[in-house]
Structure 1
Amino acid sequence: MTQYSKSLTSLALQKFFKSFWGVISLFFICICTFIAVFGYFFITDKSENANQMHLVIHSKPPGFKVQMLVVPNPEKTHKTFAEYFTGEKITDSYIPISSYSIKNDSVYYTEYSDSDLVQIEKVLPLHIFPEAQSETAFKENYIEQFNYVLGTDNYGRDLLSRLVIGSRVSLAIGFVAVFISLVVGVFFGSIAGFYGGKIDAAVMWLVNIVWSIPTLLLVIAITLALGKGFWQVFVAVGLTMWVEVARVIRGQIISEKQSQYITAARALGFSDWRIITKHILPNCMAPVIVISAANFASAILMESGLSFLGLGAQPPVASWGSMIKDHYSYIILGKAYMAILPGITMCLLVLAFMLIGNTLRDVFDVKN
Structure 2
Amino acid sequence: MAPHNDAPSPSSSYTAGFNRMPYRPVVTSSLMTGRLDAMEPHSPLSSSYSTTSESSDFHMARPLVPGVYVPTMCFFEEGTEDVDTDTIARHAVRLARAGVTGLATQGSNGEAVHLTHAERQLVTATTRKALNESGFSQMPIIVGCGAQSTREAIQLCREAWEAGGDYALVLPPSYYASLFAPASETILSYFTAVADASPIPLIIYNFPGAVGGMDLSSDIIVQLAQHPNIVGVKLTCGNTGKLQRVAAATRKMAAGHHDPARPEFLVLAGSADFTVQSLVAGGHGILAGLANIAPRACIRTMELFNQGKVAEAQALQEVVAAGDWTAIQGGVVGVKSGLQGWMGYGGNARSPLPKPNAEQARKWKEGFRDLVLLEKSL
Normalising by the smaller structure, the TM-score range is under 0.3
Q: Which has the higher helix share?
A: 1
TM-score by length of 1: 0.23
TM-score by length of 2: 0.22
